[in-house]
Amino acid sequence: MNKRYQVFLSSTFRDLENERLEVMRALLELDCFPCGMEYFPAANDDQWSFISELIDQCDYYIVVVGNRYGSTDEHGISYTEKEYRYAIENRYSYHRLSSR
Note the pLDDT of residue 84.
Answer: 92
The verdict on residue 75 lying in a domain is yes
The verdict on residue 93 lying in a domain is yes
The verdict on residue 37 lying in a domain is yes
Longest Cα separation, the chain: 45
pLDDT in tens, 61-98: 999 999 999 988 889 999 899 999 999 898 776 666 66
CB count within 10 Å of CB 39 equals 10
Domain boundaries, position 14: 6-98
Considering its fold, how many domains does the chain have in total?
1
Note the pLDDT of residue 100.
Answer: 56
The verdict on residue 17 lying in a domain is yes
CB count within 10 Å of CB 48 equals 17
What does the alpha-carbon distance between residue 100 and residue 93 come to, in Å, rounded to a whole number? 23
The verdict on residue 34 lying in a domain is yes
The verdict on residue 88 lying in a domain is yes
The verdict on residue 1 lying in a domain is no
56 SS3 class: helix
The verdict on residue 36 lying in a domain is yes
Of the candidates 4, 5, 38, the residue with the CA atom closest to the CA atom of residue 21: 38
CATH of the domain at 64: 3.40.50
The answer to which of 35-44, 47-56, 61-70, 84-93 has the lowest mean pLDDT is 35-44
